[in-house]
Structure 1
Amino acid sequence: MQRRDFAKNLMVGASVSALSGSLVHAQPNIPQAPFKLKYAPHFGMFENSAGKDPIDQLKFMHEIGFRALEDNGMMGKSPELQKKIGDTLSKLDMTMGVFVVNFDNWPLKTSLTSGSKEWRDKFLATCKEAVEVAKRCNAKWMTVVPGNFERNLPIGIQTAHVIESLRRACDIFEPHGLVMVLEALSDTPDLFLRNSDQTFMICKAVNSPSCKFLFDMWHMQRNEGHIIYNINQTWDEIGYFQIGDEPGRNEPTTGEMNYKNIFKHINEKAKASGRDFVLGMEHGNSIKGKDGELKLIEAYRASDI
């Protein structure tokens, strides 16, 4: 496609407000230019426009320009639905983003930090299940959260326990080319993994292509700020991004974060280094209903430069 043709199509996509009648009335048959980056919506984000069926939602995502999906709850779906989602993604030439390796530590509690054999065995057993889920839905990345602090142990001991468990998990994932991405969170000060430098250090210590950093920009804005600076500092260990504006954890343009500049920086840096990322849309819609879904699309069109 010629550059001017691509620009023309992108302008059509950016003018999505002129097509609001079709989109709002759930007529997902209007072709939209693909976004520059692989933004990954989740199921439910366009339910008012596409209906409740996840496959219809997936097709709607594709037709309005998204080329990836993430689903934190994939492991809780039936094997038949996992396979159906994977097959649909393949037909649409879309990328499957993360799902969560949920080893019974949510709501978050002390787990890998403790060094407990019970927790480690539970985690590793779930990693083995995750391999089979990934095969069915064509996934490569899986989110892992080590859990809360073990307050009666020194931080160095807790860190060593986490590193050892993650190395054992890499033994499971590496033969399949799968990658667990560690997510530093801001939900509570009890969390062990909270900052980008800490996550970077742990990934370096694990020293495996199957252990990388999930840079969730909403959490990192809340915990430390300096988003572009910290992306640059931890770039070599970042395997995946997630999006959310602050305050509110909604779509770009609704808060204080300049996602236009952040996306531009990630895009240019990825091209320069020959890398490709999925950016998970792990956020809510600032407005409910079809109008909110249209606003979300417009926000990504405005920010995707």
Structure 2
Amino acid sequence: MQRRNFVKSTFGAAGLGLTGASVSGASIAENWHSQPNFLAKNNFKLKYAPHFGMFENSAGKDLIDQLKFMADMGFTAMEDNGMMGRDPALQTKLGEEMARLGITMGVFVLDKGGNGQNTLAAGKQEYIDIFLNGCKKAVETAKRCNTKLTTVVPGDFERKLPIGIQTGNVIDALRRGADILAAGNLTMVLEPLSDTPNLFLRTSDQTYEICRAVNSPSCKILFDIYHMQKNEGHIIPHIDWCWSEIGYFQIGDNPGRNEPTTGEINYKNVFKHIYQKQKAENKEFIFGMEHGKSQQGKEGEVALIKAYVESDSFTV
């Protein structure tokens, strides 16, 4: 089956065309203009970045086909937390295909950047060495897949030490890592998380303080709106307070950690606020779609795209 017919049958047969989606240029296939229930290529205002597997029911398991499907749907970025663990030849192939499709690669997770087993808060040389070696490997991965961003989580608290000493240990390690990453034109984005109270990095203001202390353009904040809604709320003011140190956003509604419109966060307002701020300063952030789907199968993938069309339909 030709790919254009595959995409058409995936969504057209479901009768779930995205009414209200804005069309930019040609439709997914040049001969679809007269077809009733096709999905137009959306002209999103922001650079939303799906993950591999997010559209597997529609595009199949092949990663290149999934990238093509993302591009057909109008997504101009993608992120892959596991990129660093992929075969180097595949990293290169994916990077080349993203470049061809006009897709910007977002973050991948820096392997062993810090976790419960090698927390940077402990200040132990063996843990620091693991982190610094990860930084060196991350530079090589980034070159192959054409990204400038990698996610770092410092790990857990070291409960035996005072909090100020732990913070100093984290700052010292990150400064050394930032020097390695800066030489490779790569930026680590520190992600405060809500997964467990044992995690050292929990809030955006704490992460802001650490970034200011590291004092490097290669150390910024990954502002995951889902995690920050859980840990601190007050999303738009926290974005404003931390703005100068934010390097990346991630998305997920709460509760449920699914697509926008499925929880309590008013993503249309949040997206509008960020869009206006970044436009005023000539910035352009990537918004990683680090969430699940509220529905299963192809219908769930259609619902996900419709949720982004709706949340992106703010007026400016």
TM-score with structure 2 setting the length: 0.87
Q: Given the superposition, is the C-alpha separation of residues 92 and 10 from structure 1 closer, same or farther in structure 2, using an over 3 Å criterion?
A: farther
Letter paired with 1:62: A
Letter paired with 1:165: A
Partner of 1:221: 229
Question: Deviation string for 1:127-164 (max 9, x for gaps)?
Answer: 10000000000011000000000000000000000000
State the distance in 2 between where 1:79 and 1:10 align. 41
Question: Deviation string for 1:206-255 (max 9, x for gaps)?
Answer: 00000000000000000000000000000000000000000000000000
Displacement after TM superposition at 1:177 (Å): 1.8
Query: What's the secondary structure of 1:251's corresponding residue?
Result: coil
Partner of 1:74: 83
Question: Deviation string for 1:193-216 (max 9, x for gaps)?
Answer: 000110000000000000000000
Of 113, 116, 134, which residue of structure 1 is paired with 2:124?
A: 116
Query: What's the secondary structure of 1:229's corresponding residue?
Result: helix
Partner of 2:112: 103
Of 41, 46, 62, which residue of structure 2 is paired with 1:53?
A: 62
Query: What's the secondary structure of 2:66's corresponding residue?
Result: helix
Partner of 2:287: 279
Partner of 2:5: none
Q: Is the 8 A contact 2:21 2:309 kept in 1?
A: no
Displacement after TM superposition at 1:34 (Å): 2.6
Within-5 A mapping of 1:155-234: 155-234=163-242
Partner of 1:151: 159
Instruction: Identify unmatched segments of 5+ residues in structure 2.
Output: 1-17, 29-37
Q: Is the 8 A contact 1:245 1:252 kept in 2?
A: yes
State the distance in 2 between where 1:193 and 1:275 align. 26
Letter paired with 2:221: F
Letter paired with 2:105: M
Instruction: Identify unmatched segments of 5+ residues in structure 1.
Output: 1-8, 20-28
Question: Deviation string for 1:264-293 (max 9, x for gaps)?
Answer: 000000001111100000000111110000
Q: Given the superposition, is the C-alpha separation of residues 281 and 43 from structure 1 closer, same or farther in structure 2, using an over 3 Å criterion?
A: same
Q: Is the 8 A contact 1:183 1:213 kept in 2?
A: yes
State the distance in 2 between where 1:295 and 1:114 align. 44
Partner of 2:96: 87
Within-5 A mapping of 1:260-279: 260-279=268-287
Displacement after TM superposition at 1:110 (Å): 5.0
- 1:289 equivalenced with 2:297 (yes/no): yes
Query: What's the secondary structure of 1:279's corresponding residue?
Result: strand
Q: Is the 8 A contact 1:110 1:150 kept in 2?
A: no
Partner of 2:35: none
Query: What's the secondary structure of 1:275's corresponding residue?
Result: coil
**Aligned positions, number:** 283
State the distance in 2 between where 1:177 and 1:128 align. 12
Displacement after TM superposition at 1:105 (Å): 4.5
Q: Is the 8 A contact 1:34 1:67 kept in 2?
A: no
Query: What's the secondary structure of 2:147's corresponding residue?
Result: coil
Partner of 2:252: 244
Query: What's the secondary structure of 2:237's corresponding residue?
Result: helix
Of 18, 41, 45, which residue of structure 1 is paired with 2:50?
A: 41
State the distance in 1 between where 2:200 and 2:127 align. 15
State the distance in 2 between where 1:163 and 1:104 align. 14
Partner of 1:5: none
Q: Which has the higher helix share?
A: 1
Q: Is the 8 A contact 1:10 1:33 kept in 2?
A: no
Q: Which has the higher contact order (CA 8 A, sep 6+)?
A: 1
State the distance in 2 between where 1:45 and 1:193 align. 27
State the distance in 2 between where 1:110 and 1:156 align. 18
Letter paired with 2:111: N
Query: What's the secondary structure of 1:292's corresponding residue?
Result: helix
State the distance in 2 between where 1:53 and 1:61 align. 13
Query: What's the secondary structure of 1:181's corresponding residue?
Result: strand
State the distance in 2 between where 1:206 and 1:40 align. 28
Displacement after TM superposition at 1:33 (Å): 2.7
Displacement after TM superposition at 1:30 (Å): 5.2
Q: Which runs of 4+ in 1 moved over 6 A?
A: none
- 1:129 equivalenced with 2:129 (yes/no): no
State the distance in 1 between where 2:168 and 2:45 align. 39
Letter paired with 1:70: E
